[in-house]
Structure 1
Amino acid sequence: MSSSIDSLLAAIAQRIGAAHVLTAPEDMAPYLREERGLYQGKTPAVLRPGSTQEVAFIVQACAAAGIAVVPQGGNTGLVGGQVPFGEVLLSLQRLDRIRQVDPIDMTMTVEAGCILDKLHEAAEAAGCLFPLHIASQGSCRIGGNLASNAGGTAVLRYGNAKDLVLGLEVVLADGRVWNGMKRLRKNNAGYDLKHLFLGTEGTLGIITAAVLKLFPQPAQRATAFLAVPDPAAALALLKRLRGEAGDALTTFELMAAFGVETVLNHMPGTVRPFRDRYDWYVLAEFSAPTRAFDLAALMEESLGTAMEAGEVVDAVIAASQAQAAALWRLREDMSEAQKHEGGSIKHDVSVPVSRVPEFLARALPAVEALLPGLRPCPFGHVGDGNIHFNLSQPVGMDKAAFLAMWEAFNRVVHDIVVEMDGSIAAEHGIGILKREELAHYADAVGLDLMHRLKRALDPAGLLNPGKVIHL
């Protein structure tokens, strides 16, 4: 095996350059440390191709040698899908070119290694908007976003990552390149093959480039931070704002008091929005591409009516972009702030929007009964039914002992989610963290179809093996 790897790496080095074949432990370390610290990767080499053709060469060479490959973007994944466990790691970070921005077609053609924030900047420079916004956008890369079907804070208005894609370029398991880079809004010529690769975490093919949808840049925004009596009131408020603002309602995020207080306690520069502390909060944002009407006035009027109806008990509307950014920090810094409270067991789940209050009413007492003193930190994209049901360890409890209860908490939370016709993986994917959970809960016919697809597109099981499903 060692000689086989050595000869393989030598051939790859000759093609992509020796500087881009990393084998020293100190050089590989940043690619092997997973975001949450749950997994430590292991690989004989990190390969850094600079083009689609070089990716195809590597995959073909590895396939011929029977060597498995794990693709990786920005290494920001939260379910271990980007972590190698002895396989060759293929980093797409050097595929970072924006090939074209077309404000007439309203498309942007990009390579998989582009950092998400750079795509925001390129779209804005062309007077357009690329609406995928997630907490890690300063370091995550679009290939990983598409491979995991990332969600984020604007799904309510624009959809998930897969809804923002018109075309893909993909390297298949045998090294062939599928060119599906159409910029068409209508294309019914056969199967829509891009959906085989969006959200499948590099297990069926490696995304190397994409054609993305652009939208008109908002001409105005209105941002509000609200205190609400409970999740049921938040749901009533969501219905009201949707009815009065329509598609102008871009964001609707629900947060429990513990999460907001954690941000205020641990993140420097954050500002308390209200004098009083409340149990539940909502961050809502309106946006519109024209100035045909006053968005701030619409928000103020809508919230005034909501307060009269008892759906809102306190409110602050940002009077400037800086104030809006300060309010957003209370939501965006939550995952980072929670690290300061010890161990955290995280669940990325979704239920029908109408059942979010019911889910919280059932799940919160259930997990607290399993471990008294537990500090739940639920928050998330209530407008699309996605709740990050995070659990902070009891004060003083041993962190390792707490994290050892992850599977027990999974069973409590996921049983409730599945009973409510929800999903155990809303926007982070399956990876390795939830692989056994998928096998436990998935429809038997659906799981069989997944296995058939894997065997059809990757018969030797060399693309990101062990992730999502077992062969």
Structure 2
Amino acid sequence: MNHQSLVGQFAHIVGPDGIISDKTEHDAYVRDWLGKWTGLTPVVVRPRSTTEVSAVLRLCHQTHTPVVTQGGNTGMSGAATPDTSNSQVVLSLTRMKRIRDVDPINNTMTVDAGVTLAQVQQVATDADRLFPLSLGAQGSCTIGGNVATNAGGSGVLRYGNTRDLVLGLEVVLPDGRVWNGLRALRKDNTGYDLKHLFIGSEGTLGVVTAAVLKMYPAVRNRQTAWIGFERLADVVDALRGLQDICGDSLTAFEMMTQASLDLVLGHFNSARSPLQSPVAFHVLAEVSHTSATAATTPFEDALQALIERGLAVDVALASSTAQAVEMWGLREGISPAQVAAGHAIKHDIALPISSIPQFVQEADSICADVRPEFTVINFGHIGDGNLHYNVLAPASLGEKSYKQAVEQLNRLIHDLVAQYGGSISAEHGVGQLRRDELKRYKSSVEMDLMMTIKRSLDPNHLMNPGKLL
């Protein structure tokens, strides 16, 4: 079937307002957020309902038309970008914005896939509850995209990944059938838990159209501190010490090197370091309580203990909400500062927390040996073992040399990650960025199981082809 005929049938399903066929208006849909990948599509289809998604996928199934599902298009692995064949339809869910249900007693809400993360957070706040997933792109990223990539963020230490925040899903299968798994239950022992097939599947098995999300009691009291260390091993010891004293109230434990902070300070002229002097490693730690009158002394005592034990060399405790926001601004400013600096070779990796100091020591040595002119920008959610071990190349480096450096460092760093029993993708997903590397770091049995599931649900390989597998 030719593209013009398809566009007409899609328009009949979603209406003329749900179709973007003019290629001059496709740029936001065919280019990824980082600008690494640019593709082509004959049409962007924007349904408003699950019924419309079902009809679109049924038509694509009948005509063997490949589909790339897209939410806020804020991913970092090229998982939502079509290829250059001009054959893949982009299915954008950003018009699916319905809040279907809010149940403060059950601590759940049910929302369409196109609702942004920030909107979900606000819905929870309006119900005097908390939805704890927090990402730098929360104003743009959508719940469907969060589910499809099993998004992480800064609250994983206490609340877990997106997988831990989802109770039920509604999914349109590749042939157009709808699986309604929107059950707001914490116990349902009636067979396979199918939702976990689709969480983290990057749109390769079906289209998530709605989700039942967990809510938690609202935070009434929050304390934020910036802590300086000279050794990464002391950072890991400090994490254990804070957890021993603060327990589950420790919500965030974010680490960045001095080089990472310097990058932010150089990019944002108004930014200032919370500490008086440079240190090797900085940590942003935060505790939160559901009681407005919760005692704040345990956290302060724990911070003082870090100083007395010789682990921390300096501590700055935020005295106001504004100061806490400034601290978080420094942490969240690393990614945009890297984009502005250009030529960042990114490694989104997960490791056993106990292995992180030794891993970083070896990785730093590798980078110093093979690329001494590059700068390591190492930061991340160290409380859950997720490092963004990135390497910044000089701005003067040519494109060909940059690509060679990417291949060289990816292989060296990821091989080292594998030696330590880690993962080459902690929260950004595989997409097309890590697709070809996956076979090197997963066993043949694991890859075969994944492909068996893919063939079972999508035998024609129409869903997000060229991504993940």
After superposition, residues 12-23 of structure 1 pair within 5 angstroms as 12-23=10-21
Deviations 1:244-298 (A, max 9, x none): 0000000001100111111111124322212211111000000011145322x22
Corresponding residue for 1:97?
98
1:108 aligns with 2:109: yes
1:51 aligns with 2:49: yes
Corresponding residue for 1:131?
132
CA offset at residue 389 of structure 1? 0.7
> Matches of 1:400 and 1:131 in 2, distance apart?
42
Count residues with an aligned counterpart: 466
Kept in 2: contact 1:34–1:41 (CA 8 A): no
Local SS of the residue matching 2:240: helix
1:71 aligns with 2:105: no
After superposition, residues 194-213 of structure 1 pair within 5 angstroms as 194-213=195-214
> Matches of 2:434 and 2:48 in 1, distance apart?
32
After superposition, residues 449-468 of structure 1 pair within 5 angstroms as 449-468=449-468
1:385 aligns with 2:385: yes
Corresponding residue for 2:185?
184
> Matches of 1:373 and 1:395 in 2, distance apart?
11
CA offset at residue 440 of structure 1? 1.5
> Matches of 2:235 and 2:442 in 1, distance apart?
31
Local SS of the residue matching 1:282: strand
Please, which runs of 5 or more residues in structure 2 have no aligned partner? Answer: none
> Matches of 1:287 and 1:63 in 2, distance apart?
48
Kept in 2: contact 1:342–1:399 (CA 8 A): no
> Matches of 1:268 and 1:173 in 2, distance apart?
49
> Matches of 2:210 and 2:119 in 1, distance apart?
15
Deviations 1:224-250 (A, max 9, x none): 011011110000000000000000000
Corresponding residue for 1:349?
349
> Matches of 2:71 and 2:420 in 1, distance apart?
34
Corresponding residue for 1:261?
262
1:219 aligns with 2:217: no
CA offset at residue 23 of structure 1? 1.4
Moved more, 37-46 or 269-278: 269-278
Kept in 2: contact 1:373–1:395 (CA 8 A): no
CA offset at residue 399 of structure 1? 5.0
Corresponding residue for 2:81?
83
User: Aligned Cα RMSD in Å?
Assistant: 1.1
Local SS of the residue matching 1:405: helix
Local SS of the residue matching 2:36: coil
Q: Percent same amino acid among aligned pairs?
A: 45
Corresponding residue for 1:283?
284
> Matches of 1:396 and 1:27 in 2, distance apart?
33
Corresponding residue for 1:421?
421
Corresponding residue for 1:146?
147
One-letter code of the match for 2:277? Answer: D
TM-score after normalising by structure 2? 0.98
Deviations 1:22-46 (A, max 9, x none): 1112211111121111110211111
Local SS of the residue matching 1:70: strand
Corresponding residue for 1:61?
59
Corresponding residue for 2:327?
327
Local SS of the residue matching 1:437: helix
Kept in 2: contact 1:168–1:209 (CA 8 A): yes
Kept in 2: contact 1:112–1:207 (CA 8 A): yes
> Matches of 2:19 and 2:379 in 1, distance apart?
41
Kept in 1: contact 2:221–2:294 (CA 8 A): no
One-letter code of the match for 1:326? Answer: E
Local SS of the residue matching 1:169: strand
Local SS of the residue matching 1:183: coil
One-letter code of the match for 1:151? Answer: G
One-letter code of the match for 2:228? Answer: A
> Matches of 1:398 and 1:28 in 2, distance apart?
29
Local SS of the residue matching 1:178: strand
One-letter code of the match for 1:250? Answer: T
Kept in 1: contact 2:226–2:285 (CA 8 A): yes
1:251 aligns with 2:252: yes
Moved more, 32-41 or 214-223: 32-41
Local SS of the residue matching 1:404: helix
TM-score after normalising by structure 1? 0.97
One-letter code of the match for 1:237? Answer: A
Local SS of the residue matching 2:455: helix
Local SS of the residue matching 1:38: coil
Kept in 2: contact 1:259–1:338 (CA 8 A): no
One-letter code of the match for 1:361? Answer: Q
Deviations 1:308-334 (A, max 9, x none): 111110110111110000000110110
Local SS of the residue matching 1:235: helix
CA offset at residue 163 of structure 1? 0.5
> Matches of 2:67 and 2:464 in 1, distance apart?
6
Moved more, 245-254 or 32-41: 32-41
Kept in 2: contact 1:149–1:161 (CA 8 A): yes
One-letter code of the match for 1:204? Answer: L
- The verdict on how the C-alpha distance between 1:359 and 1:61 changes in structure 2, with shifts beyond 3 A counting, is same
> Matches of 1:362 and 1:98 in 2, distance apart?
48
Deviations 1:166-208 (A, max 9, x none): 0000000100000000001100111100011000001011100
Kept in 1: contact 2:7–2:21 (CA 8 A): no
Local SS of the residue matching 1:133: coil
One-letter code of the match for 2:441? Answer: Y
Please, which runs of 5 or more residues in structure 1 have no aligned partner? Answer: none
> Matches of 2:275 and 2:349 in 1, distance apart?
29
One-letter code of the match for 2:126? Answer: A
Local SS of the residue matching 2:283: strand
Kept in 1: contact 2:343–2:395 (CA 8 A): no
Kept in 2: contact 1:259–1:334 (CA 8 A): yes
1:163 aligns with 2:164: yes
Local SS of the residue matching 1:438: helix
> Matches of 2:256 and 2:400 in 1, distance apart?
27
From 2, 9, 12, the equivalent of 1:11 is: 9
1:359 aligns with 2:359: yes
Local SS of the residue matching 1:361: helix
One-letter code of the match for 2:134? Answer: H
Local SS of the residue matching 1:294: coil
Corresponding residue for 2:304?
304
Local SS of the residue matching 1:13: helix
